Amino acid sequence: METTQTTYKVAAIDVHKSMLAVVIADAAREGEFRFERRKFGATESELRQLATWLAEHGVREAVMESTAQYWKPVWQQLEGRCELYLAQAHSNRAPRGRKRDFADAERLLRRHVAGELILSFVPNPEQRLWRTMTRTKLQLTRDRVRIHNQLESLLEDARIKLSGCVSDLLGLSSRRMLKALAEGETDAARLAAMADPKLQATQERLQDALHAAATLSALHRQILGLFLARLELIENQMEILERSIGEALHGYHDAVLRLGPSKMPMTFVVEPECFMGLVPDPAPFLLTRAS
- Give per-residue pLDDT as tens, 43-80: 999 999 999 999 999 999 999 988 788 999 999 999 99
Question: Rounded to whole angstroms, what are the CA distances from 63 to 31, 75, 82, 94?
Answer: 21, 9, 10, 16
81 and 41: one domain?
Answer: yes
Tell me which DSSP letter residue 273 carries: G
Same domain, 137 and 197: yes
3 in a structural domain: no
In this structure, are residues 89 and 122 in contact, taking their beta carbons and an 8 Å threshold?
no
> How much is the mean pLDDT over the chain?
85
Question: What does pTM read for this prediction?
Answer: 0.74
Output phi, psi for 82, to 5 deg. Answer: -160, 175
Q: What is the mean pLDDT of residues 198-204?
A: 89
Residue 86 domain boundaries: 9-122
Tell me: the pLDDT tens digits for 167-198? 899 999 999 999 999 999 999 999 999 998 88
Whether residues 189 and 262 share a domain: the answer is: no
Indicate if 208 and 114 belong to the same structural domain: no
| Judgement on whether residues 17 and 37 belong to the same structural domain of the protein | yes
Do residues 102 and 29 share a domain? yes
Rounded Cα distance between 67 and 13, Å, is 11
Closest CA to 162 of 122, 130, 208, 124: 208
Burial group, residue 87, by CB count within 10 angstroms (0-12, 13-18, 19+): buried
What percent of the chain is predicted at pLDDT more than 90? 56
- For residues 62 and 283, give the distance between their C-alpha atoms in angstroms, rounded to a whole number: 29
Q: What is the pLDDT of residue 13?
A: 94
Answer yes or no: is 84 within a domain.
Answer: yes
- At residue 290, the pLDDT reads 45
- CATH number for position 80: 3.30.420.10
Axis crossing angle, helix 125-157 with helix 218-248, rounded to the nearest 10? 160
DSSP SS3 for 107: helix
In sequence order, the 6+-apart residues with CB closer than 8 A to the CB of 41 are 18, 19, 20
Please give the Cα distance from 291 to 257 (Å, whole number).
Answer: 15
